[in-house]
Structure 1
């Protein structure tokens, strides 16, 4: 059975640029992580209490994470925890963890399984089918082992970092199919740049130039940028980049090439068959 491990609370938000940042500055890789790492961990609660079980559940999913606070929750039967600037809810018995907000998910702590991902992945897969292959900007090796879809924009620092390593993703056997998600919204300068890219005669060059902060010609034409933006929103995108596997599973924001290949290989591996016990 394919399982999505909750490897790091808030990992996606720390490796993607927010959809609508409050300031004009761009998110830079590692900046959010550095801020989170300076926060002191909460004192250990008394053993056997719901707070202690909540803390233990969080550390099952990520032993290194710092928990700032654990206490009463507005949701009956749950405790509320503040982890790296994000609020999470853990059932009083420590068996389930709920991550609220856009793209929120419910996790089975013991199984380390995202119980929400199956339905979300199926929905994303269907949404992606509405975007024609001709409207994707594809960077692929001759014989790819895996294909991912990445919602991207040209202003996000993580998007630029990912694209600067596109050759290595391809060397890892990964084909990348880009879709447009101008995170600052329709009508923004970001949106106008994305339209210019999709209207260019050489979209791959235009995208690469824009991500490298080189000037690209302003263009307009009949395009699907707005459609792609809408699909991204409906797919639960909260920041760019967003990487989706072929089955619609969300793999995170920026993921280094070798780590992404390892994750895709793991997902593609056949499920081990349990041995059948011999009869007496």
Structure 2
């Protein structure tokens, strides 16, 4: 699960990444130099005692460089050469012996470059996601946009999920922030569910925007069926790695997260445009475990 990964990243301000516990990175020191300092003195945050200038010290320093508040229960040799295994907040992570890379195992695993503060897995997935989304024509998306948008986001949405509804209730504010929203269908209860049928009715309505707004506000919509792309969009959402709705995707394929208030979403997009990173930590509603 990436929750622990995002917990590690959470303390790193997207607008002030240099505010981490170690100022050495900002001064151009290598991860190993930071780790030596951490090992030679009391470990930052809550962590086991480790020897100075050891792979264990570098592992502790790397984790605390991401978040000084997390608890590290144990650090030991990993079952793979060149890595230490750390128990962080009840989850296993692997840190390279030089302290440069942090690997999060599991179905939603990730490889993180600690020194560069980059999710290397996300970079690869963003390219794939961007290509997948291209398969959904803009004409098959439900678009709410200001006259001259600064940014455009594609969002996999559901008519039932609470955070999707909250996001849509503020759609005018997102537009005021210069953000165009292109909704794509992801009935989170799966193919053939009442949710799926309701989203088909929305996509088959003569006025999709009104039908979507009505459905998200529990207003009755006419049951309809037609040739539609709802199931195809759902399949693409799964292939894009969706685990909860809403899933907000920037134009380069980067996930911006789940629900974020209008101003926070604009700030995240501004940072991304400036070559920064996003927190990808917005709230979502989980999809059905059956996956349709």
Match of 2:21 in 1: none
* Pairing partner for 2:101 from 89, 96, 99: 96
Q: Which is worse superposed, 169-178 or 112-121?
A: 112-121
Alpha-carbon separation, structure 2, partners of 1:161 and 1:83: 33
Match of 2:134 in 1: 129
Alpha-carbon separation, structure 2, partners of 1:161 and 1:86: 31
Paired residues of 2:151 and 2:269 also in contact (CA < 8 A): yes
Match of 1:46 in 2: 50
Alpha-carbon separation, structure 2, partners of 1:68 and 1:181: 37
Q: Does 1:264 align with 2:260?
A: no
- Is the alpha carbon distance of 1:144 and 1:82 closer, same or farther for their aligned partners in structure 2, counting shifts above 3 Å? farther
- What is the number of residues matched between the two proteins? 236
Match of 2:224 in 1: 219
Secondary structure in 2 matching 1:116: helix
Gap regions ≥5 residues in structure 2: 11-44, 277-292
* Pairing partner for 1:194 from 195, 199, 210: 199
- Is the alpha carbon distance of 1:258 and 1:125 closer, same or farther for their aligned partners in structure 2, counting shifts above 3 Å? same
Gap regions ≥5 residues in structure 1: 1-5, 12-40, 272-280
- Which structure would you say has the larger RCO, counting Cα contacts within 8 Å and 6 or more residues apart? 1
- Is the alpha carbon distance of 1:83 and 1:143 closer, same or farther for their aligned partners in structure 2, counting shifts above 3 Å? farther
- Is the alpha carbon distance of 1:139 and 1:90 closer, same or farther for their aligned partners in structure 2, counting shifts above 3 Å? same
- Is the alpha carbon distance of 1:177 and 1:90 closer, same or farther for their aligned partners in structure 2, counting shifts above 3 Å? same
How far the C-alpha of 1:81 sits from its partner, in A, is 4.2
How far the C-alpha of 1:270 sits from its partner, in A, is 7.6
How far the C-alpha of 1:90 sits from its partner, in A, is 2.2
* Pairing partner for 2:156 from 146, 151, 164: 151
Alpha-carbon separation, structure 2, partners of 1:200 and 1:239: 25
Q: Does 1:69 align with 2:61?
A: no
TM-score, structure 2 normalization = 0.71
Aligned-residue CA RMSD (Å)? 2.6
Paired residues of 2:48 and 2:74 also in contact (CA < 8 A): no
